[in-house]
Amino acid sequence: MTNKNLSQKICEACRIEPEKDCTNCPHPCETACNNCSYGELVYPDFENKNFAKLFKLITTIEEFSFGTMLCYIPQILSYRQLSRLSTPEGDYESENTDPIKAFLSCVFKCVVKEKDTANCIKRGKWEV
């Protein structure tokens, strides 16, 4: 895994293009912004701005369900938190204890394998 955040990974897997943010640009370059070297590429943020919309989209797809539970691991005599996104194509799991990151991790694993889900997310209107 790379150091990219989950939002960027989801965007790349869904082929969502980043937008150019020129807020720190020292000169007005509205007409040539795409060529501006000061701007940075920004992906939609699924951890904050777009989380509720993505969660609603994924959990309202027919036959998709997401849940978090405690699982007993007998080998280490302990419980672990496990989150699972279940789809007709398969189950995607995360052991991340942060529920938002666990959900996004499951979504990322899903969109890598399920192109229909990736296309559904790509068609959404996401805030940058």
Mean pLDDT of 77-105: 93
* pLDDT > 70 in the chain, percent: 87
Q: How confident is the model at residue 13, as a pLDDT? A: 97
Higher pLDDT, residue 29 or 51 = 51
Higher pLDDT, residue 36 or 67 = 67
What's the burial of 2, exposed, middle or buried (CB within 10 Å: 0-12/13-18/19+)? exposed
User: What is the pTM assigned to this prediction?
Assistant: 0.82
Q: How confident is the model at residue 1, as a pLDDT? A: 34
Mean pLDDT of 29-37: 60
Non-local (6+) Cβ contacts of 125 within 8 A are none
Mean pLDDT of 1-27: 81
Q: How confident is the model at residue 33, as a pLDDT? A: 58
Mean pLDDT of 17-37: 69
CA distances from 58 to 43, 51, 54, 64 (A): 19, 11, 6, 7
Confidence class of residue 21 from pLDDT cuts 50, 70 and 90? confident
